[in-house]
Structure 1
Amino acid sequence: MINISSHEEFAAYLGKEIGISSWYQITQEQINKFADATLDHQWIHTDPEKAATDSPFKTTIAHGYLTLSLVPYLWQQIAKISNLKMEINYGIESLKFGQAVTVNSEVRLKVGLKSILNLRGTTKVVIDIVMEIKDQPKPAFAGDVVFLYHFVS
């Protein structure tokens, strides 16, 4: 894990890979809880028996937004951003889902710094993210996520 406590320390990673998280397993219980939270109970996510026979994956799959929601958690395994007044998840500039994540798959996040701006004391970073799936050639998704960091002066 790297430690970043200022705009200047962040800027040193411009155009470079920042790091890779550890592997994280997505379970059926987590998929079911996400379905409850989002009211998305489509059978391909929540019905293992039907998925075994009717799904092209022959098992349930994680919601795409479930995998996306893991970004902040996995990002915190890669970088400790400290000396902050405030941190804001600002947006997603681009994102493409590449492959479904089947139940019990392990995923990890690979992050690079695409751009960094100083907006009158607030650091705006665009990080290039790829969610890899263990033993799969294609990622779950890839894209650009934007965070705002207001470091203590």
Structure 2
Amino acid sequence: MDKVIINSYEDFEKLVGQEIGVSDYVEVSQERINLFADATLDHQWIHVDTERAKVESPYHSTIVHGYLTLSLLPHMWNQIIEVNNLKMMINYGMDKMKFGQAVLSGQSIRMRASLHSLQNLRGVAKAEIKFTIEIKDQPKKALEGIAIFLYYFK
């Protein structure tokens, strides 16, 4: 799928209430999980101890940190959309974020996004992006919520 190209506030306006797109799948390997554990100092065994997880985890596998799943959102968002003519973009916040299904080590996830709302704040575009993180071949969502970005157009 081609990226949606946004060059102005008016381009964004046309997308309100519509699905913008779907990212490619990203595999979340045990190596990525371990690196995230090192970066965040979250070495809980259910994420990093593969032998113990096989025996003691209800998933019989290690699972991806919920915040690792969330942290992949910008990468997946950038596969869906290209916003040009910016001075800067700011991650403003999250609303109604819920983790649904655990992502197991080695599974692949992707993002589905729609433009929930758009406001013009004195020339700054406040975009509320409704997102869902899907797990390949699984019916339940890994994560859903609303990501809020501020786009400062030139």
| Corresponding residue of 1:108 | 110
| Corresponding residue of 1:52 | 54
| Corresponding residue of 2:9 | 7
**CA RMSD after TM alignment:** 0.4
Q: Shift of the alpha carbon at 1:5?
A: 1.1
Q: Deviations over 1:48-81 (max 9, x none)?
A: 0000000000000000000000000100000001
Q: Shift of the alpha carbon at 1:94?
A: 1.4
User: Which amino acid in 1 is paired with 2:142?
Assistant: A
d(CA) in 2 for partners of 1:80 and 1:23? 18
d(CA) in 2 for partners of 1:82 and 1:23? 24
d(CA) in 1 for partners of 2:78 and 2:142? 19
| Corresponding residue of 2:32 | 30
User: 3-state DSSP class of the match of 1:41?
Assistant: coil
TM-score normalised by structure 1 residue count: 0.98
Are 1:85 and 2:87 matched, yes or no?
Answer: yes
User: Which amino acid in 2 is paired with 1:12?
Assistant: K
Any unmatched runs of 5+ in structure 1? none
Count of residues in correspondence between the two structures: 152
Q: Which 4+ residue blocks in structure 1 deviate beyond 2 angstroms?
A: none
On the 8 A contact 1:94/1:145 being kept in 2, the answer is: no
Q: Shift of the alpha carbon at 1:4?
A: 0.4
TM-score normalised by structure 2 residue count: 0.98
| Corresponding residue of 1:71 | 73
Q: Deviations over 1:20-65 (max 9, x none)?
A: 0001000000000000011000000000000000000000000000
| Corresponding residue of 2:122 | 120
Counterpart of 1:98 (choices 90, 93, 100) is 100
Any unmatched runs of 5+ in structure 2? none
